[in-house]
Structure 1
Amino acid sequence: MAVTLPEVVEELLSEMAAAVRDGARIPDEHLSSLKFVFGSSAIQALDLVDRESVTLISSPSGRRVYQVLGSSGKTYTCMTSCHYCSCPAFAFSVLRKSDSLLCKHLLAIYLSQVMRNCQQLSVSDKQLTDLLLMEKTQEA
């Protein structure tokens, strides 16, 4: 079962997606709400989306992970099914201090989905497994 975001965030993202589907730009009040909820992370996440830094990696078995090229040049692996990111800010601000709902990388993923600006990459199951194992090895 997928973990869900707080209802207010789900509603905001849904309204933003509806605006994009209708061919309109995202209303300023939605962007203001995004900044109110996420602070400076919202602007940083939008910048990542503008730079097309989000890639969805999928395999034939249906497994999906995202990689986000951060502003520092480091690539972070993220999973939206459990709201996880490999970045230090996620470990500190989201998990340890509970200061934030999401890091900028996870927020960028949700925004890239809304704005239909997500790169796509299909790999074999073995390649995806190797990618995840390599990530785990680098963290250790």
Structure 2
Amino acid sequence: MPVTLWAATLPAVVEELLNEMAEAVRESAQIPDEHLLSLKFVFGSSAIQALDLVDRQSITLISSPSGRCIYQVLGSSGKTYICLASCHYCSCPAFAFSVLRKSDSLLCKHLLAVYLSQVMKTCQQLSVSDKQLTDILLMVKKQDV
């Protein structure tokens, strides 16, 4: 089953790389070195930082009975960020500045970590009520103010 969450938002080369990585994980439970080198080439130091977040199991998929889901990423600074993989968004300042404002990055390390945790099937999962999910999103909004 190809990974398709990022298909509508990422360049084809990144989509293909993530799909190849997912296939490699399905076949051998690991990512080949050439894929890791490609990841570093495309994303620079963000790739290493994202892999570190995945290694530390910092990514949690939070889902509710209505089918809504968000990813919560515990950043290296200890701050928690919300990522919406379905629309390619992260609440961190680096995403706002480097991805949205300057357009000099495709992703922040948090969003890349979300995609990599999907590929590697290492994402923690948490089911909450719809109200709890709304409260989590409102809490993030208050932090940003």
The answer, yes or no, to whether TM exceeds 0.5 is yes
Gaps of 5+ in 2: 1-5
Distance 1:25 1:75 in 2: 27
- Could you tell me which of 103, 113, 135 is aligned with 2:140? 135
Is it true that 1:86 corresponds to 2:78 in the alignment?
A: no
Per-residue CA deviation, residues 83-133 of structure 1 (Å, 9 max, x unaligned), is 111111001100111010000000000000101100000000000011111
Q: Which residue of 1 aligns with 2:18?
A: 13
1:1-140 correspondence to structure 2 within 5 Å: 3-140=8-145
Distance 1:134 1:24 in 2: 36
Q: Which amino acid aligns with 2:68?
A: R
Distance 2:85 2:114 in 1: 8
**Bigger shift: residues 17-26 or 88-97:** 17-26
Give how far 1:23 is off. Answer: 2.1
Gaps of 5+ in 1: none
After the TM superposition, list the runs of 4 or more consecutive aligned residues in structure 1 that deviate by more than 6 angstroms: none
RMSD value, Cα: 1.3
Give how far 1:5 is off. Answer: 1.2
Aligned length: 140
Tell me the TM-score normalized by structure 1. Answer: 0.96
Give how far 1:82 is off. Answer: 1.1
Tell me the TM-score normalized by structure 2. Answer: 0.93
Distance 1:114 1:81 in 2: 15
Among all aligned residue pairs of Structure 1 and Structure 2, give the percentage whose two residues are the same amino acid. 83
Q: Which amino acid aligns with 1:38?
A: F
Give how far 1:40 is off. Answer: 0.2
Distance 2:123 2:15 in 1: 19
